[in-house]
Amino acid sequence: MKFAIITQAKHKQDNGSIYAYEPYVREMNLWLKYTSEVKIVTPICSLKPEKIDTEYDCKTIELVKIPDFHILSIKATLLTLLRMPLVFYRIVLTMKWADHIHLRCPGNIALLGCVAQVFFPHKPKTVKYAGNWAPNSKQPLSYRFQKWILSNTLLSKNCKVLVYGEWENQSSNIVPFYTASYYKKDIKKISATNFDKGIKLLFVGTLSKGKQPILSVKIAEQLHNKGYAASLDIYGEGAEKQRIQAYIKKHELGHFISLHGNQPKDVVTSAFERSHFLVFISKSEGWPKVVAEAMFWSCLPISSKVSCVPYMLNQGRRGALVNPDIDEIQEVIVNYIHNFETYSKHVENGAFWSHQFTLDKFDADIKEMI
C-alpha cells in the first residue's frame, strides 16, 4: 500500500536514516508496518538528530520537502503567501500518488492538507487530530477551520478523524482515540510510595509559556518554604528555560529543583517511577501523553482542566484537576500528603486505567483503521 503522510513535524536526515521527534516516530512506525511505500510531505531540518529524536524503522520512505511557514509577522506572512502554492502542489501530487492518505492535524501544513483531501473523495483517509477537540474551547481560526472541514462528511469523504476524548453531537466520521507509549510487557506493579523520604515532584514537556513550567517551580518553592521536603525534576527544553534558570538562581532553589533537559525515553521513565506527583498545568492539550505515562508508572497527575484531561483523570478520581493557582495546587498536594489512603487509591485507579492503552492495543486499532 502506498501511504502518504502530511505533517508539520520537522524531519532530519543523518547517515542515510530519517529522524523525527521520538513519540511521533514511535507511533508512525506502527502505522508504517502495514505499508509498502511511504511518502512524507514535511519540512526538513538541517540540524543533527538530538536525544529526543529517533529514526523510522521503515526503510522505504521518501521525504517530499516543503518549506515551513507561519504568519507571526508581516514578512513571514508575505513569504507564506509566496510559498503556499508550491506546498499545496506538492501535497496534491503526493495524495494523487497514494493509496491511503494520512493527515497529522492541526497545523499550518495540515490546513492545506485538509483542503487538498477534498479533491480525493474516493481515497481512504485517516486524520490524527492531536490538538484539543473540545467543541467550545477557544482556538485559532485556522484550527477551527480544520475542525469544521474534517467534521463535514460531504467535504471529508472516506475519512476517519481520530480525536482525543469523547464529545457529544459529533459527525459520523469522528472516532474517539488515544495515544499509547508502552507495551503490555512493560506493565509492572508499582505501589504508591509514602512521603517519608520527601515529596518528589516532576514536570515533563516542552518548556513553553503554554505548558507553564514556571508554575511547577513556584509550587515546589512554596511547599519547601512551608517546611515540606519537596523536590522537583524538570525534563524538557524550550523558550522558558532561561526564565526558569534565572528564577531558580534568584531565589536559591537549585538544591531541590533540577533541570535535566531532553532525555531518552528510559531516563524519563525512571523519573516517573520514582516521583510522587506530575505537576503539569498546561493551557491547552490534545491527549497529554505525559499524563497517561505518569499514571502508567504510578505517578499521580496534578493537571489543568483542559481538553480531555477531565476524562483521563475521571473527573478527579485518578489524579487532581486544578486551576492555574499556586495556592490551590499546593493545597491539593498537601491534602494528598496527609491522606495517603486517598493518594494510594488514586494512584491505583490511574495505573489500572492507563494500562489499558498499550502499544499492543494501539497497533491492533491502527490495523483496523487502514
Rounded Cα–Cα distance for residues 218 and 214 (Å): 6
Rounded Cα–Cα distance for residues 90 and 134 (Å): 31
pLDDT digits (tens, 9 = 90+) for 149-202: 999 999 999 999 999 988 889 999 999 999 899 999 999 989 899 999 999 999
Q: Which fold has domain 188-354?
A: Rossmann fold (3.40.50)
Query: Cell numbers at residue 198, please?
Result: 520527601
Whether 324 contacts 215, CB under 8 Å: yes
Q: What is the mean pLDDT of the chain?
A: 93
Query: Cell numbers at residue 242, please?
Result: 532561561
- Strand segments, DSSP code E, in 22-113 are 37-42, 44-45, 53-55, 61-65, 100-105
pTM: 0.86
Query: What number is the average pLDDT over the span 230-248?
Result: 97
Rounded Cα–Cα distance for residues 92 and 113 (Å): 8
CA-nearest of 284, 106, 307, 286 to 210 is 284
In CATH terms, are 2-178+359-369 and 188-354 the same topology?
A: yes
Query: What number is the average pLDDT over the span 111-125?
Result: 97
Rounded Cα–Cα distance for residues 302 and 201 (Å): 10
pLDDT grade, residue 70 (50/70/90)?
Answer: low
- We find that the CATH architecture of domain 2-178+359-369 is 3-Layer(aba) Sandwich (3.40)
pLDDT grade, residue 92 (50/70/90)?
Answer: very high
Rounded Cα–Cα distance for residues 130 and 40 (Å): 18
Bigger pLDDT: 317 or 81?
Answer: 317
Bigger pLDDT: 289 or 116?
Answer: 116
Domains in the chain: boundaries? 2-178+359-369, 188-354
pLDDT grade, residue 138 (50/70/90)?
Answer: confident
**Total number of residues shown for the chain:** 370
Residue 2 in this model has a pLDDT that exceeds 80: yes
Q: What pLDDT does 71 receive?
A: 64
Q: Residue 158 gets which letter from DSSP? A: T
